[in-house]
Structure 1
């Protein structure tokens, strides 16, 4: 599995090994439009997806052979709940210190998919700052991702800039009234 976001800090599967790697031709982006989990239809949010161009550093996990079918089923249920988004699962070449590996990754955008569309960072920050649903807030998801990437030694300057913009949005927003 190639993890570039929440699977780094919440893999939810057993693994034998993990190693740093880079995929080329893709970059992480808060471009996956959501109205559930960490958002609502009234306050839609954004989650991470892979978009074409650039490079993305992440972690390649080798799943345990004994649990592979169960782990894959659990991951598919967690990440891909609808058949319509199945094309966003793909095999990628991960370049590691020990050579190139094939890995499965989730939410790799397709040009024709309507769930993903990159926004300017300022617009993305405005959505992320206010979106919240039963699984928590999009701002919390961004913070967890940025802090865990940093802890793993992976610095994504666009996510750091987005984190800064979201923090500014939250600071500017009036506190909700307690009636």
Structure 2
């Protein structure tokens, strides 16, 4: 599958849409970064993590890009000279377990007068067994209290994501609600005042 995507970017810039940890931990060099919107998909803390943010006994949660709604995230542009190398690097990170479905999605940059560009995004099918389905607040709180994996806790992952989104002027209503739920139950501290959430929802 990777070869198909390598063939697509050969000799071209690579555009990559980030909606979670790729925003605050990209681990690759890029030429440009800006806010952008994708229609028809939304970000949700609805994917089991049994390695990085949890264990098989106590699965954690990470974000997935699910069909429906819209999502504002960050669009990276990687120049043609580095595109194939960066794609291999990101693929090794995101596709290690083969859970995500990589797709080219129409992405609208919010600055620079650009039109819609095709951007690579890592999506999740609701038919995938890693999809959690709807979770109650009690289930979320249990995960926030107990789930921890190789890279840390689910709660830390949520906090870092909300903090990073705020720093880019992005307000995700549901992630903000989940973070407030954790704060309200004494599981974490509120984010610093200078990272006050944007006044409006991003979508």
Bin of the TM-score, shorter chain as denominator length: 0.7 to 0.9
Answer with 123-132 or 23-32: which moved more: 123-132
TM-score, length of structure 1 as denominator length? 0.87
Q: Is the 8 A contact 1:30 1:124 kept in 2?
A: no
2:122 aligned with 1:110, yes or no? no
Indicate the residue corresponding to 1:127 in structure 2.
143
Equivalent positions of 1:42-81 (< 5 A) are: 42-81=57-96
SS at match of 2:53: coil
State yes or no: 1:39 paired with 2:39.
no
User: Which of 1, 6, 22 is the aligned partner of 1:7?
Assistant: 22
Structure 2 residues not aligned, in runs of 5+: 1-15, 189-203
Structure 1: which 5+ runs fail to align? 173-179
The CA distance in 1 between the partners of 2:146 and 2:168, in whole Å, is: 28
Show the counterpart of 2:163.
147
Q: 1:52 to 1:124 in 2, by over 3 A?
A: farther
Deviation by residue 1:15-62 (Cα, 9 ceiling, x = unmatched):
111221110111110011111111112211110001121110011111
Residue 136 (structure 1) aligns with = 152
The question of 1:91 aligning with 2:104 is answered yes
Q: Deviations over 1:53-73 (max 9, x none)?
A: 111001111112222221111
Q: 1:25 aligns with which of 13, 36, 40?
A: 40
Distance 1:164 1:171 in 2: 10
Preserved contact between residue 44 and residue 63 of structure 2 (Cα < 8 Å)? yes
